Amino acid sequence: QVQLVQSGAEVKKPGASVKVSCKASGYTLTDNYMHWVRQAPGQGLEWMGWINPSSGGTNYAQKFQGRVTMTRDTSINTAYMELSRLRSDDTAVYFCARVPTLRYCFDMWGQGTMVTVSS
Amino acid sequence: EIVLTQSPDTLSLSPGERVTVSCRASQSVRSSYLAWYQQKPAQAPRLLIFGASSRATGIPDRFSGSGSGTDFTLTISRLEPEDFAVYFCQHYGSSRWTFGQGTKVEIK
C-alpha cells in the first residue's frame, strides 16, 4: 500500500525545536519531491518548502528560512522536517505531501502531526 | 507572489444541489499549475483536480474543474452527503506553492 506515515504528536516549549518524520511505504522516497505543509487550528494550508530526496536539495518558503531544515534518510525511506526556535504561533498540524513526477500538485499526504507549542 | 482568493467562504447547501467554488488568482497563471483539494475534519487534504481540469485517480465524475488565466472553478454536479467538507485551490509558480483560503461547504 502506497502511503506516507508521520510521527506522533509533539508538545514543545517556546524556543525549542521539533523534528517530524514522514516514512514512505509502497514506493521509493527518491522517486518524488517531498513537501511540507502546515495548518494552524481552524486555518488554511501554508506551504513550508520541499526536499529532493534524491539529491538532498531543498527549497524553503521565505517565511521559514533560517528556522526550518528538511532532510532525508534514504536507507529507511524517510523524510524529516525540523523547525527550530518554536513560537506559540507554530502550533499547527504539519503534513508531508508528495508531488508526482511532472505534476504541480500534491497527490499523497501524510496523516499529519500535531505540534503544540506552549509554556 | 501570486495570491489565490476563493469565493464564497462558506456555502450552505442541501444534498443533490450543484456546487460552484471560485478561485481567483492575483495575476494570470498556467492552468497546468492549478489544483483543487477536499479536506474533511481531522483528515489530510485529498487531491481532486490537477491541471485545472483533470480528475485525480478515484475521484467521482461529479467533480469537475475549469477555468484559465485568473479565474478557475470547481464544480460538484450533485452534492452527496460525503461531499460536505472544505475545498482549497492551490497554485505553483516561481518556485512557490500557494493555497486559497478555503471554502466550506456545509449542510443547510
Given a cut of 90, whether residue B1 has pLDDT beyond it is: no
d(CA A7, CA A98): 16
| C-alpha to C-alpha distance for A51 and A71, rounded to whole angstroms | 7
Amino acid found at A16:
A
pLDDT classification of A3: cutoffs 50, 70, 90: very high
pLDDT score, position A53: 97
- The DSSP-derived string for B53-82 is TEEPTT--TTEEEEEEEEEEEEEESS--GG
d(CA A91, CA B101): 18
pLDDT over 90 at B95, yes or no: no
Q: How far apart are CA B93 and CA A76, in angstroms?
A: 31
**pLDDT tens digit string along A54-64?**
999 999 999 99
pLDDT > 70: what percent of chain B?
A: 100
How long, in residues, is chain B? 108
In chain B, the N- to C-terminal Cα span, in Å, equals 36
Considering chain A, what percentage of its residues have pLDDT values greater than 70?
Answer: 100
DSSP A85: S
At A77, the pLDDT band (50, 70, 90 cuts) reads very high
Beta-sheet strands, E only, within chain A: 3-6, 10-12, 18-25, 34-39, 46-51, 58-60, 68-73, 78-83, 92-98, 108-109, 113-117
Separation between Cα atoms, residue A95 and residue A4, nearest integer Å: 10
Interface test with A, best of B9, B39, B97 (most A CBs within 10 A): B97
For residue B91, the distance in angstroms to the closest alpha carbon of chain A comes to 8
CB pair distance less than 8 Å for A107 and B47: yes
Instruction: Supply the mean pLDDT for chain A.
Output: 97
SS3 B88: strand
- A49 is written with which cell numbers? 518548502
Q: Which of B44, B92, B100 sits opposite A104 (nearest CB)?
A: B92
Query: Residue B3 pairs with which residues in a beta bridge?
Result: none
Put simply, whether A114 touches B (Cβ < 8 Å) is no
Cβ-nearest to A44 among B32, B51, B102? B102
A35–B90 CB contact, under 8 Å? no
Q: Quick one: pLDDT band at residue B80, thresholds 50, 70, 90? A: very high
